[in-house]
């Protein structure tokens, strides 16, 4: 694959993620949008690491994947708690979780 094609794919993933964050109210959809943003960043790290023959990009990508897994676990726990208290997964109802 050419560099321009992978960079265009990464930009498209990032744009779809930002669009999802700005337009969705569903908490699960917001989590998916954040995952798209993290995947776009990881793809950029791999691309530029391979382009400049450095291993730093792959190492940063491993950290991004670990961060995405932790974010998914914590985010889904919050969504489950939100659904138990408010009977909805609407992000605007998250104010009910305040202590």
Delimit the domains of the chain by residue range.
Answer: 3-91
| 71-to-20, 74, 82, 87 alpha-carbon distances in Å | 17, 5, 16, 22
| Architecture of the domain made up of 3-91 | Orthogonal Bundle (1.10)
pLDDT for 99 equals 65
For residue 90, report the phi and psi dihedrals to the nearest 5 degrees. -70, 135
Give 15's Cβ-side CA count (13 Å radius).
6
CA dihedral 58, 64, 68, 70 (to 10 degrees): 110
Residue keyed to tokens 């990881």: 42
pLDDT for 55 equals 92
Coil, strand or helix at 26:
strand
pLDDT in tens, the chain (99 residues): 789 999 999 999 999 999 999 999 899 999 999 999 999 999 999 999 999 999 999 999 999 999 999 999 999 998 998 899 888 888 887 776 676
pLDDT for 72 equals 94
Longest dimension (CA), the chain: 51
pLDDT for 74 equals 95
């Amino acid at each position: 694959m050419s560099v321009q094609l992978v960079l265009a794919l990464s930009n498209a993933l990032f744009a779809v993620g930002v669009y999802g964050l700005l337009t969705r109210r569903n908490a699960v959809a917001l989590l998916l949008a954040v995952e798209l943003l993290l995947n776009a960043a990881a793809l950029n790290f791999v691309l530029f690491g391979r382009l400049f023959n450095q291993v730093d990009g792959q190492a940063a990508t491993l950290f991004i994947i670990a961060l995405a897994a932790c974010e998914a676990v914590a985010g889904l726990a919050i969504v489950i708690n939100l659904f138990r208290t408010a009977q909805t997964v609407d992000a605007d109802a998250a104010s009910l979780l305040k202590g």
